[in-house]
Amino acid sequence: MNTLLGHVNHPKGPGDFCIWFNKWRTTLIQQRDANTHPDPARAQIWRNSTKSLISVLGVIENGFADFDMIQIVPADIAVFLDQWEGRRAAQVYRSYLSKFFEWGCRRGIVNSNPAREISLSTPPKRDVYMTDKQYNQIKKALLFGNDGKPTRTGEMVQCYMDLLYLLYQRGTDVRLLRWDQIKDDGIMFKPSKTERTSGIKVLIPISDDMQKVFAKLKDLSKMRSIYLIHTEHGQPYSANGIGSLFRRACKRVNIEGVTLKDIRAKAATDATNKGYLESQLQTALAHTDAATTRGYIRTRQIPVSEVILKLPKIE
């Protein structure tokens, strides 16, 4: 019997799903390996992403291990995805299931893609805005540990927070920013998330505040490193490593519900409140569509209606 809907005509024992899924997964991983970035730091991030992908695919494989591919119908996909209803994980699993069945259709293994027939509810939009007070409280908390003693990493992570805000780029691209990327006319960013798709670029002029952060970083560096933000060994921080330092600082000042990613949304929101247009923000954030940009802008004020009515006159 299969693990989802229990089709009565299915023979006992594993179906052929895993056989075909393993063939597809092997091809997918080989393609990813071939596209590994030549930069060592980006290559390591790519390898970590591949490990996460393998974990995701393992969940799918386990969920359909008792199936023959030809047996799977949209309802089976729905039952599987309902385990993550309303969460982004459901969208991720559906995406890879759809890619797998598309691969199967092209090879004549199946005649349809059941994953396409299933719609999912959109996860709730994140609408957290980090206030100026919270931003500065967290920065201050980075300098001292729970024991009240100065931390070795505090000032470096403070600079990272400031660059996240001033450059308004993704954390990966700021963590991997190199000194040789800083030119007289600005900093050219080619976001790692879209470099293999849209390939969109953005040149960010260097402001006075950026220059101050750069100068502080040069004073902080006890060893030569090609990266602006780096560990004591001169290597770029991992997302989890620097995120852990940030979370601990938040805990020390009793601030909950904010993440490093919220700094980019704060920058977009603050820019909007200063009068910058959505089109300007879309360019600055290196987005290919305006809808993505709007997702970064947090509504801070409740709009006030200007419509005032009077009761109908009695005739």
Report pLDDT digits (tens) over 115-134: 999 999 888 778 889 999 99
Element (H, E) at 183: strand 182-183
Contact 177, 162 (CB under 8 A): no
CA–centroid distance for 13 within its chain: 39
Residue pair 297/269 in contact (Cβ under 8 Å)? The answer is yes
Q: Which DSSP state fits 41?
A: H
Phi, psi of 186 (to 5 degrees): 135, -165
CA angle 12, 17, 18 (to 5 degrees): 100
- 8 Å CB contact between 157 and 245: yes
Torsion of CA 107, 110, 113, 117, to 10 degrees: 170
Q: What is the pLDDT of residue 97?
A: 97
Per the DSSP assignment, residues forming a β-bridge with 219 are none
Give the list of residues 6+ apart from residue 159 with CB closer than 8 angstroms, or none: 213, 216, 217, 220, 228, 229
Q: Which fold has domain 132-294?
A: hpI Integrase; Chain A (1.10.443)
| CATH fold for domain 17-117 | DNA polymerase; domain 1 (1.10.150)
**What residues of the chain score a pLDDT lower than 70?**
1-14, 193-199, 286-304
Please report the pLDDT score of residue 260 as a whole number.
Answer: 95
pLDDT at 125: 79
The count of C-alpha atoms lying within 13 angstroms of the C-alpha of 279, restricted to the half-sphere facing its C-beta, is: 0
Q: Which helix (H) or strand (E) holds 188?
A: strand 186-189
Cβ atoms within 10 Å, residue 4: 19
Helix ranges restricted to H, the chain:
17-34, 40-63, 74-81, 88-106, 132-141, 154-167, 171-175, 208-220, 239-252, 262-273, 278-284, 290-294
**What CA–CA distance (Å, rounded) separates 314 from 245?**
68
Q: Closest Cα partner for 4 from 74, 70, 57?
A: 74
Report pTM: 0.76
Q: Return residue ranges of the chain for CATH 1.10.150.130.
A: 17-117
Give pLDDT, residue 212.
95
CATH code 1.10.443.10 region(s) in the chain:
132-294
Q: Where on the phi/psi map is residue 201: left (φ > 0), alpha (ψ -120 to 50), or beta?
A: beta
